[in-house]
A and B are shown apart, each in its own frame.
Chain A
Amino acid sequence: MGFDVLLKGKNMLRLLEGLGVAMKISLVSVVISIFLGIIVGMLMSQKKPLINVVTRIYLEIVRIMPQLVLLFIVFFGFTKLTGKNISAELSSIIVFSFWGTAEMADLVRGSLLSIPMIQYESSKALGFSRLQTYIYIIIPQVARRLLPLSINLITRMIKTTSLIMMIGIVEVLKTGQQIIEANRKTSPGAAFGIFATIFLLYFLACWPISCLSKYLEKRWEN
């Protein structure tokens, strides 16, 4: 089945290292996206015409463009245009954050706007300050709505990092291909074993996040 290849040399270790590269890039991008997404989403929920137009265009660009094209634009295009060299890793983080921020902002905007006006008004009527209203009333409700949606986004971002091998980053998928190539003669069946292992690795990376989400949703059920 080709699993034996994993035990040859440092193959398993190399795969894990590849996963590490993918995880590093996705986690950095996720953190940036959540942080910026919350800020942009709050701006979007203000319903200011100018901000609306700008963020709308931003969101549409992100939605229309395949992530791969964005990666190419930043990594190859930008370098050609300015003559400055951006590393593949930085390019990926830029593209993934650019994408993640847009999606996260849209989720934050939707969740904020789904809180009925009366929640703000009754808090005000009870004497809560603006800050207290957000801390005790609004944010806990927004967080509950946001959680499943943002978990979905995070796992999608992790999975999509497999694209970064196209700009030369040796992440888990690329490492897998290299191992398969190198063992083509000795173990022709390696492809199955290696790709199955990569499947398992991605699963192990995303599964705990899903579990955490399930746990929190249960705790917040009320």
Chain B
Amino acid sequence: MEEILKIEHLKKSFDDLTILEDINLSVKKGEVLVVVGPSGCGKSTLLRCINGLEDIQEGKVILEGNIINPLVDRKSKYREKIGMVFQSYDLFPHKSILENVMLAPLKVQKRKKDEVKKEAEQLLDRVGLLSKVSNYPRQLSGGQKQRVAIVRALIMHPEILLFDEVTAALDPEMVREVLDVILNLAKQQRTMLIVTHEMAFAKAIADRVIFLDGGSIVEDSDPTSFFTAPKTDRARKFLNTFEFEKVH
């Protein structure tokens, strides 16, 4: 399969603090990568470096053969090709659900209103939110908002989707409805980079698991071997934090 995203020797630091060190990664089209690791290991920063929300100090991020970070061509439309969903609900509070979804395709991609509206309704229908089109974000639950945020990213027809702990701020009973949407996207052969703490979900969806610790990639393997036989002590320790010993 063809390579869609490539990261070479990426280094990210804030002043003296190094967040990511010599990251090398290659993602093929249709591949689902799950990035796991202890908090503060740089998972979120890695995603933010990929779509240019953070500048990088060394190395480069290459999307379909074009260097997008550090950005050379300011007019590059690369952001439309990368969809991102954040942990905190980031819908636009002053716009209805339909407007939230339609704004970017209309204003950024200058697409026709009829066509965008039709697609928006189709996509919202697919995540079970067609009845909410004229509601406003504050009238939705956290899980519903995250599903809208996913639709808002999808309507831009991105080549690659980034999920940054999208269920971390949700009540437990709402996690499932969001993860189901992402699982469906995996079935459609979408290229995705997913940062998550849901290990069962990671096991189910990943083609590859990246274990990040202390700012570098410690393991890069298929989910079965990562979850059953991790190569490093650090990964083993990390996975152990999700296990509980029987008390009685």
Q: Is A122 an interface residue (CB 8 A)?
A: yes
- Contact indicator per residue, chain B 69-105, by CB within 8 Å of chain A (1) or not (0): 0000000010110111010101011101000000110
Whether B86 lies near A126 (C-beta < 8 A) is: no
Q: Is A66 an interface residue (CB 8 A)?
A: no
Q: Which residues of B contact A118 (CB under 8 A)?
A: 86, 88, 90
Whether A126 lies near B94 (C-beta < 8 A) is: no
Whether A220 lies near B80 (C-beta < 8 A) is: no
Q: Is B152 an interface residue (CB 8 A)?
A: yes
Q: Is A222 an interface residue (CB 8 A)?
A: yes
Whether A125 lies near B108 (C-beta < 8 A) is: no
Whether A141 lies near B93 (C-beta < 8 A) is: yes
Q: Which residues of A contact B82 (CB under 8 A)?
A: 125
Q: Is A59 an interface residue (CB 8 A)?
A: no
Whether B53 lies near A124 (C-beta < 8 A) is: yes
Q: Is the interface of B mostly helix, strand, loop or mixed?
A: loop
Measured between C-beta atoms, what is the minimum distance from A84 to chain B in Å? Answer: 48
Whether B96 lies near A127 (C-beta < 8 A) is: no
Whether A141 contacts B107 in the complex (CB less than 8 A), given A124-B53, A124-B79, A127-B79, comes out as no
Assembly CA distance A121 to B162 (angstroms): 14
- Contact indicator per residue, chain A 88-126, by CB within 8 Å of chain B (1) or not (0): 000000000000000000000000000010110110111
- Interface size on A, as a range, is 10 to 19
Q: Which of A112-149 contact B (CB under 8 A)?
A: 116, 118-119, 121-122, 124-128, 132, 136-137, 140-141, 144
Measured between C-beta atoms, what is the minimum distance from A208 to chain B in Å? Answer: 25
Whether A222 contacts B136 in the complex (CB less than 8 A), given A125-B79, A136-B107, comes out as yes
Whether A222 contacts B96 in the complex (CB less than 8 A), given A125-B51, A136-B103, comes out as yes
Q: Is B156 an interface residue (CB 8 A)?
A: yes
Measured between C-beta atoms, what is the minimum distance from A124 to chain B in Å? Answer: 6
Measured between C-beta atoms, what is the minimum distance from A69 to chain B in Å? Answer: 41
Q: Which of B104-156 contact A (CB under 8 A)?
A: 104, 107-109, 136, 149, 152-153, 156
Whether A126 contacts B108 in the complex (CB less than 8 A), given A220-B94, A222-B94, A222-B96, comes out as yes
Assembly CA distance A118 to B165 (angstroms): 14
Shortest Cβ distance from A137 into B: residue: B92
Q: Which residues of B contact A116 (CB under 8 A)?
A: 88
Q: Which residues of B contact A121 (CB under 8 A)?
A: 53, 86, 90
Max chain B C-beta neighbours (<10 A), residue from A128, A137, A222: A222
Shortest Cβ distance from A129 into B: residue: B108
Assembly CA distance A140 to B94 (angstroms): 7
Whether A132 contacts B108 in the complex (CB less than 8 A), given A118-B86, A141-B93, A222-B96, comes out as yes
Q: Which of B96, B104, B136 contacts A126 (CB 8 A)?
A: B104
Q: Which residues of B contact A136 (CB under 8 A)?
A: 103, 107
Q: Which residues of B contact A128 (CB under 8 A)?
A: 104, 107-108
Whether A122 lies near B90 (C-beta < 8 A) is: yes
Assembly CA distance A5 to B168 (angstroms): 73
Assembly CA distance A74 to B84 (angstroms): 55
Whether B84 lies near A125 (C-beta < 8 A) is: yes
Q: Which residues of A contact B92 (CB under 8 A)?
A: 119, 137, 141
Can you list 27 A-B contacts with CB-CB less than 8 angstroms, sorted by A residue number? Answer: A121-B53, A122-B86, A122-B90, A124-B52, A124-B53, A124-B79, A125-B51, A125-B53, A125-B83, A125-B86, A126-B80, A126-B103, A126-B104, A126-B153, A126-B156, A127-B77, A127-B80, A127-B156, A128-B108, A132-B108, A136-B103, A136-B107, A137-B92, A141-B94, A144-B94, A220-B94, A222-B94
Q: A128-B104, A141-B93 are in contact. List 10 more A-B contacts (CB 8 A).
A: A121-B86, A122-B84, A122-B149, A124-B52, A124-B79, A125-B79, A125-B153, A126-B80, A126-B108, A127-B108
Closest 4 A/B residue pairs (Cβ): A122-B90, A126-B104, A127-B79, A127-B108
